[in-house]
Amino acid sequence: MDQLWDILLPKEKIELQLRKLYREHGFRPYHLNNFEEYQLYQRNLNFLRNTGVITFTGNDGRTMALKPDVTLSIVKNLPNNQPQRVYYVEDVYRHDSQAGEYQKINQIGIELIDKIQPKDEVEVLKLAWQSLSLVGEGTLDVSHIGILAGICQKFPESEHEKVVVAMRMKSSHAMTELAEKNGLTKEESENLGKLVRVAGHFEKKICRAEELLANFPESLASLKELKNLFDTLSQMDDLSSNIRMRLDFSVVNDADYYSGLLFQGFIKEAKETILYGGRYDRLLEKEHKNQGAVGYGMNLNHVGKTAHETTEQTEFLNIALPKGRMGDAIYQLLTQAGIAAENIFEDNRKLIFEDQLNQLRFFLVKPSDVAIYVEHGAADIGVVGKDILLESEADVIEFLDLKMGVCKLAVAAHKDYQEDFSRPLRVSTKYPKITRKYFESIGRSVELIQLHGSIELAPLLNLSDVIVDIVETGTTLKENDLEVTADIAQSSARLIINQAAWRFKQERIQKVIENVRKQL
């Protein structure tokens, strides 16, 4: 038997240990088909974080889909009013927005479906902690949907999605602007701006969070629930010390589905979130089930892999800067802030520059690639335009508006153009996602023509009716007899952070941010 164990891959060993752990806690294995009817996912796209779904037509004419999620299938197929404790090991298929391809993700997870009590949430959190500890050193970040709901009560419903985005991106400037715009008091606006930045060891941050939520009673009540869970877990002596519990309000999910505890798991060996979980009673309500539910899924794709970075490399902060004037300006800002040494950038064709004294490593990359480097963990920090962030929809933390490269995304047309509403509008742009989303929001059908340069030329040569592009001074538009017909979004340079790096290099990153903030 020992010989069989020795030939298993690290991932396979961890999977067997997780199966054993879940069985010891009374969870039984649950197996599913590889596909479900597409309509299950179609009506729950927000729960799936709007991921793409692979569909096909069955022999009976029904539209079927390869599973992008396991929880939805379990909820759909389990009997109503019957308590269930199940675990699964399944493959799901999701779209990678950056790569433009579908990926097969091997998942393991548990679902506890019942009349959920605090003890059930404690048990699931404990199992998530133990699961992560089998994989490596990491963090378990917790939040509560009630905290977000309590904050949203101060805003009109039309602004709720913007509040969610500001929380998820840790965008204090966006949250403060939203609060001021919607008539919150100066104290409430300032406190919300500070709240989105609160993150770290639970016990050290809970008091600060209570102070900032003093004017949000529902949020305070939810924060108290989290504190009770933390206090219960803290009394347990069988939890590994290689996992830390953190309070982090960027852990948010759709309030139409989730009803309480939210949590995410990270390990040093992976550059992304590997565990997602929470309490999702409202999903069961939508599926006409009378129980509550709490559970999580863990990505096994990165489990058992050895980190390639040496100890020396992990101590460096990796910073992706855009090539060109913006990158030069950001580097000067960092030197003025006392973060980086001067004259690091040599006058040659190198793309990587090291500041050994300050343990910084700079990468010079194409501006449109910065967010990709940060999202996938090749860089811990990056500087990128808001326009690129909106287009890429990268899963990063947008921590700071640097107030540089200020411009706007706008629709422009020839000054004599008269729109023909009897046909789709032809639009040239290098921002197809932003463009499609904008015109869908105003109910206008469009035909997109994607270009990569000289966008202003398109309407002059009758390639398109209008363009969507960045506008700074508007001089180029005027010189070509074009004019702005609608503004879409403001843009400027943003400092972004990799999700995992924020968990493991927070102290160093925080120092960089605070020093930069003083220069703005």
**C-alpha to C-alpha distance for 18 and 265, rounded to whole angstroms:** 15
**Are the beta carbons of 456 and 430 closer than 8 angstroms?**
no
> What tens digit of pLDDT does each residue of 95-146 get?
766 556 788 899 999 999 999 999 999 999 999 999 999 999 999 999 999 9
**Are the beta carbons of 425 and 447 closer than 8 angstroms?**
yes
Q: Which of 506, 513, 512 is nearest to 141 (CA)?
A: 506
**C-alpha to C-alpha distance for 191 and 149, rounded to whole angstroms:** 16
Q: What is the pLDDT of residue 103?
A: 86
- Radius of gyration for the alpha carbons in the chain, expressed in angstroms and rounded: 25
Q: Which of 286, 270, 294, 262 is nearest to 105 (CA)?
A: 270
CA dist list (Å): 489 to 79, 127, 132: 47, 43, 40
Question: What is the identity of the amino acid at 456?
Answer: E
Q: What is the pLDDT of residue 29?
A: 96
Q: What is the pLDDT of residue 42?
A: 83
**Are the beta carbons of 498 and 379 closer than 8 angstroms?**
yes
- Sites in the chain below the pLDDT cut of 50: 309-312
- Establish how many alpha carbons lie within 13 A of residue 336's alpha carbon, considering only the half-sphere containing its beta carbon: 11
Q: What is the pLDDT of residue 50?
A: 59
Structure tokens at 119: 């003890």
Among positive and negative, which fits the CA dihedral 498, 503, 504, 507?
Answer: positive
Q: What is the pLDDT of residue 311?
A: 44
Enclosing H/E stretch for 166? helix 160-168
Q: What is the pLDDT of residue 315?
A: 77
**C-alpha to C-alpha distance for 403 and 81, rounded to whole angstroms:** 54
Q: What is the pLDDT of residue 519?
A: 87
> What tens digit of pLDDT does each residue of 171-211 get?
999 999 999 999 999 999 999 999 999 999 999 999 999 99
Residue whose pair of structure tokens reads 């929809």 in the numeric block? 393
